[in-house]
Chain A
């Protein structure tokens, strides 16, 4: 059975996974078998020890055991009875006494005369008995004969005669006439039958399906409502309205069949299930009102008819039944009738959004008092809708609206993936709706969370996907801003930790793209700082509400890290320490293990922040020690996960920082550390050429290495290496002029180029001519850069001020060198 691993070339991973899944199932089955006779009280602890180390297995076994108990409770009932068939049948088709069990035309023979009718054709056997087409020979009209259960004379009480007479007086073009309720003697027993008008037509829903226009369908429904309303006004309740009982004849008239005959055919069931066929079959359950299903004294009323009518209208407009129970076990079907709303009409047929949806949903509320109080009222609203007037139906309450919104949004979200901007727009709808629903049922909230996290994935994943593409910073800023503006209303009202985490994360990302140095951003530092304040407060609330949720601490850690990036030197270390604490906690909550993505990330952060903290220390020996502890953490991680990109990249960043900090005090260590970092970054860049972060780091490694060369007097090598570094960022910057980060790097690169040249220009050991050329080159390039910078920035931010001052200082150096050395020949 199990494929031999790897022996066949077509052996795919999926096949392997399937085999593995079968193995897991098998293990769970065996474990369940062992556990099934253990006392339920002791079972959990038994399972915990038996499945030690595998929560998956334990969960599977638990689920299985629960299902076993459930199956046990069902006993001989619904799904898998031992020797099920006879008992299953008894549950589903409790036979009425006397209801015929043969399904062929067994009551009457073709050509036979019954009363005043001659039987012409067997039409069908319904749950209630048999139907024949016959001819009233006296009047020459076609009739439908319904044979009722064999009855005794006692059953034919005065009351039934009265009711039959009542129905026979129903005279409405929309109602098939009841001609006669009579008995004939068959085999010495009285057999009741009903003679009704014979209607040739197609079911209402089928006729409606052929109509494209909602207005035409509404017209059909109005006809139907009028017929039902008429009968109600005469004191007759249908009790079994469903599409099969409503035909549209050749002239387009709606004809309702079997009006009220449930009570004639089924006297025993009158006050009970009131089903014409006496058994709650799934097919007809689908149109039964909850109160009808529950039974009871007032279960049958005009309002239960109205409910069934509402479901028929739903089907007419939706093109599919509100409930379909053909594949549903009967207990689930019953629960659905009692508790579930069908999907909002507007979500099934968008043409029905708004008034029509409101009308139909008001007809099918589970609580009779919440429905229209008469079919007439329903019909009036339907007529108003047809005329384009405002309908009177009470709008659904906030809870109902939230439920509907969630349904609508689910449909929406599937299409949202198409365009990120559309997604942002969809989110603003979500936010507004969610705000209204904040006080609504928890269920609605839970579902919204699903929808929201879907949106989150799409938005942020999209953002992440474009972030490495050139020129994406403004687009990402726009996306993030629109998304967060849409989500802002949520922040005020919520206490849901999931939502808080999500918001804190969203704000952090927004802040980063607005203006946290170190990544691509759009220069809005003040707004970034504000946004980070908001993120911190949300993140702190989330971690407070979920102190044992590693994700909450990760989110808060990210907030503090971003804050460190945005903070001045005074707060830098404080922010980093706060971030480290958060990640430590997250790592501990993950069992101090790196075998989950979160554990891995938390571990990386702790090591990384240790490096950054070390970088902020001023005393060299202590700094070296702190760096070493960071590297120890990395070594440990990389040993466990060799080649893991996250760890390699992270360590390379810390190596670089270590190297550049020790350039002056410990040049040899600095060089080896910077060389290792440069190597790592080259490797990362080879794997992903769009990785701009690695580009920057690599360039800066080379800058420092070049500086070390200058220190040793190896000026020509230093200049060559520095030009290599500058070229690296200049190339990227040219391709992406809107990106501030890259533009800044481009200005930096001019400073870089000038550094080894100006140092070389001061070296007396080199030919004067050469030195003069380096000074002149630097001067002219720096001048050009400064002009460019002034052109680009009308409004100079403090950070730009620093860069500009550095440029100006470099330029002044170059000019001084040039003056000293004279113009090159």
Chain B
């Protein structure tokens, strides 16, 4: 178990992105504390959202960590692979969480339902729909889907994402725009609005 750096430096995602690109396989193990750190940053972006209070960041990090490293040693082929995997892990965790949240809400005791505001958490619900939309985008255009994952689920900035998948920034921006449009169409279509 690694102890996360108590004070993650801003920009450590970018530095990790760079480091992953430059480090030989044998040395990557040494990067894992930084990986953990990055996961925490990603998770913090998500923590506290959804329904009141949301999920503590640490819980998200642990889940993401288990998803990424739980199956034994990982060979990171390249940085795109790493961030792709982290983004997928985050996607899966968040969707799972949203489902749990949904079940919890449905089985809440009557009085609680009566007193408590039964407001659905828009974030969680959209999340599951978005996740499905991204998965179906992957069938059509895996690159676009990857960019959405990096940007949305892993929370990378455009610059970070362009570094992570080794794509010129302008190209990435264009693709990101188109992907958002596609997702919007898709999600509106499914809601039948």
Contact = CB atoms under 8 A, between A and B. Distances in A.
Given A22-B139, A83-B151, A123-B112, A326 B123 contact: no
A37 interface: yes
A257 B115 CA distance: 9
A68 B117 contact: no
Interface stretch (A86-94, A418-426, A800-808): A86-94
A37 B191 CA distance: 29
A703 interface: no
Interface in A53-87: 63-72, 74, 79-80, 82-86
A101 B176 CA distance: 34
Interface stretch (B18-26, B31-39, B42-50): B42-50
Nearest to A86: B45
A244 B182 contact: no
Interface residues of A, number: 62
Contacts of B180: 67-68, 71-72, 80
A128 B184 CA distance: 33
B69 to A, nearest CB: 24
A332 B193 contact: yes
Interface stretch (B2-10, B71-79, B81-89, B125-133): B125-133
Contact of B126 (A69, A79, A281): A79
Given A33-B174, A127-B119, A86 B113 contact: no
B52 to A, nearest CB: 5
B158 interface: yes
Interface in B170-193: 174-178, 180-185, 187-188, 191, 193
A64 B115 contact: no
A29 B175 CA distance: 9
A245 B118 CA distance: 11
B53 interface: yes
Contacts of B115: 123-124, 126, 131, 144, 244, 257
Interface string A705-733: 00000000000000000000000000000
A33 B52 CA distance: 38
Contact of B191 (A206, A244, A327): A327
B123 A85 contact: yes
B111 to A, nearest CB: 6
Interface in A25-56: 25-26, 29, 32-33, 36-37
Given A79-B187, A101-B53, A247 B114 contact: yes
Nearest to B154: A83
- Which of A64, A71, A283 has the most chain B CB atoms closer than 10 A to its own CB? A71
A203 B119 contact: no
Nearest to B148: A80
A68 B119 contact: no
A328 B112 CA distance: 24
Contacts of B144: 29
A380 interface: no
B59 interface: no
A124 B49 contact: no
A122 to B, nearest CB: 10
B184 A80 contact: yes
Given A36-B174, A127-B119, A282-B122, A82 B111 contact: no
A83 B114 contact: no
Interface string A392-415: 000000000000000000000000
B182 A203 contact: no
16 contacts: A1-B139, A25-B140, A71-B184, A79-B183, A82-B152, A86-B45, A89-B49, A101-B52, A102-B53, A124-B116, A125-B52, A131-B116, A201-B114, A202-B114, A284-B117, A327-B125
Interface of A: 1, 22, 25-26, 29, 32-33, 36-37, 63-72, 74, 79-80, 82-86, 88-89, 92, 101-103, 123-128, 131, 144, 200-203, 206, 244-245, 247, 257, 277, 281-284, 325-330, 332
Given A25-B141, A281-B117, 8 more contacts: A1-B139, A70-B181, A92-B123, A102-B53, A124-B116, A203-B113, A245-B114, A257-B115
